[in-house]
Each structure stands twice: as structure tokens, then as C-alpha cells.
Amino acid sequence: MAALAFSADLGLLWPGLAPDRAISRAAAAGFTAIELHWPDAGDIPAIRAALDRTGLPLLGLNTARGDVAAGEFGLSALPGRSDQARAAIEDALAKARALNARAVHVMAGKAQGDAAQAGFVAALRHASDLAAPHGITVLIEPLNHRDVPGYFLTDPAHAAAIIAETGRDNIRVMLDCYHMGMNGLDPLAVQAALGDLVGHVQFAAVPDRTEPDHGRIDYADLLPRMAQAGYRGWFGAEYRPCGDTAAGLGWMKGFAAGRAGSNG
């Protein structure tokens, strides 16, 4: 059985570094895939060249947050913002196609109520229909209450219900173990409840969101269990390093030795 496979979230692990240089750092560190949050259009050629040079796949990127200065964190569930939400989806999918990204995370935003639900479902149907011909998966992610208060999607059961309501088969849940842990949930139990709806797994220490070799979740035990339970994708390292990123990567060797399923 293959060792666990890890992807690097470039924006958190190498903040401020140009994406193409961060991709080189990720490859040198032993990551076998990368993730980007919001790549700039002007960086696309350099990113593509770095991906081609290293051979690392891009697992996913996000739709735009909206007005960050005003506290926005996604547009797709915001009542009255459907046109902007659709534009953000179309822009993210265009970048995903240019970079051969496997998925796009459609960010819901801070909203509540029936109108938000209807808007999010409509936006996801739009994203799904545009993504399907290109083999791109649409991801939605429940976030935790503390880091993003007011975010529309916090409950994995709600995420599953939304996917069912869309009636689409290329929408999956991004299961971030950090967010689940911060919400008092057991990531392994969440995985069991979601089953095949799990599209990607991310992790970071709970509660400080730094290197994953400490905290309330024992990832050296959890990640092999998730692979044993049927997860076959990469595990995304999405944490904020305490100091120098390279100096904090000692966890990789120990975690990767877990042999509980094939990944990649």
C-alpha cells in the first residue's frame, strides 16, 4: 500500500512568495501536489511553467472573496449578488482550465437564511454545469465558527444536503480537519457520514492552525485511518508555520510512513 500523499497550500506555507517560486519550494520539500487560493491572472504563465517544470498537479483554487476590506469571504450565498457570484465562478474556472486544476472551491460567504440557501444552490448549479465538460470538480467547504463568524456553511450535514439539492454529481465536500476540530467534530466521523462526497481533505493543528504535529488532533493516527476508511486523495497541508516553513516540515516524514491505503 502506498504512503500517504501530501499537497502544499502555497498561500499559507509560503506567504508573500511568488507562486512559481513557492511551487519550486514545495517540490523540493517533498510535496507531490499544490493548492492555490486566488492566483492572479498575470501570474498564470509563470505558474503553469512551474507546474510543468516540477510535474506537480494543481489540486484546486478558490472563487473570489469579494470586498475583503469590508469583511467579505465569498459571494455565492449572498442575496442580491448572483451576478458577481457567477462572474467569480467563471473567472475561477477559466484560471482552473488554464492551469489544469482539478477542482474549484466555490466560496459561500457570510449570509444566513432561505435566500442565501437558494442563491448558493443556484450558484453551485452554474459552477457544476460549467465545470463538468472540463472534468473539474466543484468543492464546498464547511468552515468553523471562530475563524469566520457568520459564514453560511459550517455543518458537513448541511453541505451534503446542499449537494443533494443541486442535483449535480460533480460537487464534493472539502473536509478540513482543522475546521471540523474547531467546531467540536471528529473528522473521521465526518468522513464516515459523508462517504463518497468527500472530495479533498486538509489539515492543521487544532486550535492554533500551525504545524500538525501537536494539538488536539493526532494526525499521525488520524490520516492513515482516513485512508484506511477509503479516502484516496492527497492530504492538504493548510497551516500557518510557526517560523521558517522548511524547518517545520519534520512532520512529513513520520506522517508519510503511515501505510493504510493508496493515495494520489
DSSP string covering 99-113, please? HT-SEEE--B-B--S
Pairing, β 137-140 against β 171-176 = parallel
* Percentage of the residues of the chain whose pLDDT score is greater than 70: 96
Question: Could you state, in chain order, the average pLDDT of each consecutive group of 10 residues for the chain (264 residues)?
Answer: 86 96 98 97 97 98 97 97 98 98 98 98 98 98 97 98 98 98 98 98 98 97 96 98 96 70 36
CA distance 104 to 124: 11
Q: Which domains are present in the chain?
A: 6-256 (3.20.20.150)
Cell of 147: 475563524
Instruction: Tell me the catalytic residues.
Output: 141, 238
Cα Rg of the chain, angstroms: 17
Helix (H, G, I), strand (E, B) or coil at 9: strand
CA distance 140 to 23: 24
For residue 257, the model assigns a pLDDT of 63
Model pTM?
A: 0.95
**Contact call for residues 1 and 260 (beta carbons, < 8 A):** yes
For residue 259, the model assigns a pLDDT of 39
Omega cis (within 30) before 207: yes
